[in-house]
Structure 1
Amino acid sequence: MLKKIVLTGARGALGTELRPALAKLTEALVSTDIVDAPDDLAPNETFVRADLAKMDEVAPLMDGAEMVVHFGAIPDEGPFETLLGPNYVGAYNVWEAAYRAGARRIVYASSIHALGLGETAAGLDTDAGHRPDTFYGLSKCFAEDMGRMYWEKRGLEAVCLRILSCTPEPQNVRALGTWLSYRDMVQLVERSLLTAVVGFTVAYGVSANTRAPVSNDRVRFLGYRPQDNAEDWAEAITAKERTPRADDMGYTRLGGPFAKVPLGESGVEAIRRMAAED
Structure 2
Amino acid sequence: MKLKKIVLTGAAGRLGSYLREPLSQMCEALVSTDITDDLGKLYANETYVQADLASYDAIFPVLEGAEMVVHFGAIVDEKPFEELLGPNFVGSYNIWEAGYQQGVRRIVYASSIHAVGMHKKADFIGIDAPHRPDTFYGLAKCFTEDLGSMYWDKRGLESVHLRILSAAQVNNARALGSWLSYDDLIQLVTRAVDTPSVGFSIIYGVSKNDRAPVDNAKASFLGYRPKDNAEQFAEAVLAETPAPDLTDPGEMLQGGPFAKVDLGQSGIAQMKIVNDKKTV
TM-score interval, normalised by the smaller of the two chains:
over 0.9
Q: Deviations over 1:201-253 (max 9, x none)?
A: 00000000000000111111111111100001000000111111111111100
- Secondary structure of the corresponding residue to residue 28 of structure 2: strand
Q: Deviations over 1:171-190 (max 9, x none)?
A: 21001000000110010000
Q: Deviations over 1:54-103 (max 9, x none)?
A: 00100001100000000000000000000000000000000000000000
Q: Give the whole-Å Cα distance in 2 for the aligned partners of 1:268 and 1:200.
A: 29
Could you say which residue in structure 1 is the equivalent of 2:271?
Answer: 271
Could you say which residue in structure 1 is the equivalent of 2:203?
Answer: 203
- The amino acid across from 2:254 in the alignment is L
Could you say which residue in structure 2 is the equivalent of 1:229?
Answer: 229
Q: Give the whole-Å Cα distance in 2 for the aligned partners of 1:124 and 1:3.
A: 37
> Is the counterpart of residue 73 in structure 1 residue 84 in structure 2?
no
- Secondary structure of the corresponding residue to residue 180 of structure 1: coil
- The amino acid across from 1:202 in the alignment is I
On the 8 A contact 2:115/2:134 being kept in 1, the answer is: yes
Could you say which residue in structure 1 is the equivalent of 2:106?
Answer: 105
- The amino acid across from 1:111 in the alignment is S
The alpha-carbon deviation at position 40 of structure 1 amounts to 2.2
On the 8 A contact 2:171/2:272 being kept in 1, the answer is: no
After TM superposition, which residue ranges in structure 1, 4 or more long, deviate above 3 angstroms?
none
TM-score between the two structures when normalised by the length of structure 1: 0.97
- Secondary structure of the corresponding residue to residue 250 of structure 1: helix
Could you say which residue in structure 2 is the equivalent of 1:276?
Answer: none
- The amino acid across from 1:98 in the alignment is G
> Is the counterpart of residue 177 in structure 1 residue 174 in structure 2?
no
Q: Give the whole-Å Cα distance in 2 for the aligned partners of 1:148 and 1:135.
A: 20
> Is the counterpart of residue 244 in structure 1 residue 230 in structure 2?
no
Could you say which residue in structure 2 is the equivalent of 1:61?
Answer: 62
> Is the counterpart of residue 156 in structure 1 residue 157 in structure 2?
yes
- The amino acid across from 2:23 in the alignment is L
Q: Give the whole-Å Cα distance in 1 for the aligned partners of 2:152 and 2:4.
A: 21
- The amino acid across from 1:210 in the alignment is D
On the 8 A contact 2:162/2:205 being kept in 1, the answer is: yes
Q: Percent identity?
A: 61
The alpha-carbon deviation at position 38 of structure 1 amounts to 2.1
Q: Give the whole-Å Cα distance in 1 for the aligned partners of 2:211 and 2:46.
A: 38
Q: Deviations over 1:102-158 (max 9, x none)?
A: 000000000000000010100101111100000000000000000000000000000
> Is the counterpart of residue 165 in structure 1 residue 158 in structure 2?
no
Could you say which residue in structure 2 is the equivalent of 1:123?
Answer: 124
The alpha-carbon deviation at position 43 of structure 1 amounts to 1.2
Could you say which residue in structure 1 is the equivalent of 2:260?
Answer: 260
On the 8 A contact 2:65/2:103 being kept in 1, the answer is: yes
Name the one with the larger helix percent.
Answer: 1
Q: Give the whole-Å Cα distance in 2 for the aligned partners of 1:107 and 1:244.
A: 36
Could you say which residue in structure 2 is the equivalent of 1:220?
Answer: 220
The alpha-carbon deviation at position 267 of structure 1 amounts to 0.4
- The amino acid across from 1:23 in the alignment is S
Could you say which residue in structure 1 is the equivalent of 2:6?
Answer: 5
Q: Give the whole-Å Cα distance in 2 for the aligned partners of 1:118 and 1:163.
A: 15
The alpha-carbon deviation at position 272 of structure 1 amounts to 4.6
TM-score between the two structures when normalised by the length of structure 2: 0.96
Could you say which residue in structure 1 is the equivalent of 2:90?
Answer: 89
Q: Give the whole-Å Cα distance in 2 for the aligned partners of 1:54 and 1:38.
A: 20
Q: Give the whole-Å Cα distance in 1 for the aligned partners of 2:103 and 2:84.
A: 28
Residues 20-29 or 237-246, more deviating: 237-246
